């Protein structure tokens, strides 16, 4: 059946099944236009702050990929694109507390360079703390952190955040790169996932 098939999109009683059609749940917490405006502002701020320097921008996969590619297109200083992949959640809605480095940047040697870590969301702070330690050990000229979303109510480790797009309440959010069990990353806006409130 082609992508237009709809027979598997409803439950037995005819209600939409949000697990199968993510676009049917919740209203946007942050809509696409608001995201675009804020991402542009962050890019301009980074451009001003890094004037005369080259930045190694490290996007954290997979969640930050969407934010990252939008952000770097608004950065007007020389910029090296790098990605790194960590995992800590599995299919749960709160961090296991253990971060695993799944794949490193190509340019592991960032010594003497200006590194900017780009994350999707900082929740407990465990992941950002892990990333900061990883890069500080490589002795960069400077290390800064950028996150699209900040959930300060859930912080367990106090990590410095240099650029924050939006502060959000204690909700499990999906869309614009963020997932639940691998789904919903492709939503063009950010929504709260109902029934998945973190403990």
Q: Which residues bind ligand IMP (CB under 6 A)?
A: 63, 88-89, 95, 119-128, 172-174, 178
Q: From edge to edge, which strands make up the β-sheet containing 100-103?
A: 100-103, 79-87, 55-61, 114-122, 142-150, 163-167
- Name the minimum Å distance from CB 115 to ligand IMP: 17
Q: How far is the CB of 4 from ligand IMP (least distance, A)?
A: 29
Residue 120 Cβ vs ligand IMP, minimum distance, rounded to whole Å: 5
How far, in Å, CA of 49 to CA of 122, rounded? 22
Other beta carbons within 10 angstroms of residue 74's beta carbon come to 16
CB of 198 vs ligand IMP, minimal distance in Å: 7
**Per CB under 5 A, does 22 bind Mg ion?**
no
How far apart are the two ends of the chain, measured CA to CA in Å? 39
Backbone CA torsion sign across 32, 163, 115, 113: positive
Which uninterrupted H or E stretch holds 59? strand 55-61
Q: Are 71 and 39 in contact (CB under 8 A)?
A: yes
Nearest-Å Rg of the Cα atoms of the chain is 18
Q: Are 57 and 76 in contact (CB under 8 A)?
A: no
CA distance 52 to 16: 53
Q: Smaller CB distance to ligand IMP: residue 115 or 178?
A: 178
Shortest reach from residue 96's CB to ligand IMP, in Å: 9
Question: Cβ closer to ligand IMP: 144 or 173?
Answer: 173
Q: Is 123 a residue of the active site? A: yes
Catalytic residue chosen out of the listed positions 123, 150, 158, 179: 123
Question: Considering beta carbons, is residue 113 or 132 the nearer one to ligand IMP?
Answer: 132
Q: Which is nearer to Mg ion, 63 or 175 (CB)?
A: 63
- Which positions from 129 to 168 touch Mg ion by CB under 5 A, shown as an x/- string? ----------------------------------------
Q: Determine which residue in the list 22, 59, 63, 175 makes contact with Mg ion, applying CB under 5 A.
A: 63
- 8 vs 21: CA distance, rounded Å: 9
Name the residue nearer to Mg ion (CB basis): 50 or 135: 135
Where in the sequence numbering do the catalytic residues fall? Answer: 123
Residues in the site for Mg ion, rule: CB under 5 A? 63, 120
């Amino acid at each position: 059946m082609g992508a237009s098939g709809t027979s598997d999109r409803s439950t037995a009683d005819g209600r939409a099944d949000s697990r199968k059609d993510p676009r049917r749940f919740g209203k946007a917490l942050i809509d696409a236009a608001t995201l675009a405006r804020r991402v542009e502002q962050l890019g301009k701020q980074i451009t001003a702050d890094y004037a005369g320097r080259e930045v190694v921008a490290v996007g954290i996969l997979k969640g930050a990929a969407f934010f990252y590619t939008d952000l770097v297109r608004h950065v007007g200083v020389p910029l090296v694109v790098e990605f790194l992949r960590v995992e800590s959640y599995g299919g749960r809605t709160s961090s296991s507390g253990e971060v695993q480095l799944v794949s490193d940047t190509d340019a592991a040697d960032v010594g003497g360079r200006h590194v900017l870590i780009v994350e999707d969301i900082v929740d407990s702070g465990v992941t950002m703390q892990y990333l900061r330690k990883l890069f500080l050990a490589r002795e960069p000229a400077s290390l800064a952190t950028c996150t699209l979303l900040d959930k300060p109510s859930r912080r367990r480790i106090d990590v410095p955040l240099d650029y924050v797009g939006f502060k959000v309440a204690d909700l499990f959010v999906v869309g614009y790169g963020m997932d639940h069990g691998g789904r919903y990353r492709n939503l063009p806006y950010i929504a709260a996932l109902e029934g998945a409130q973190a403990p």
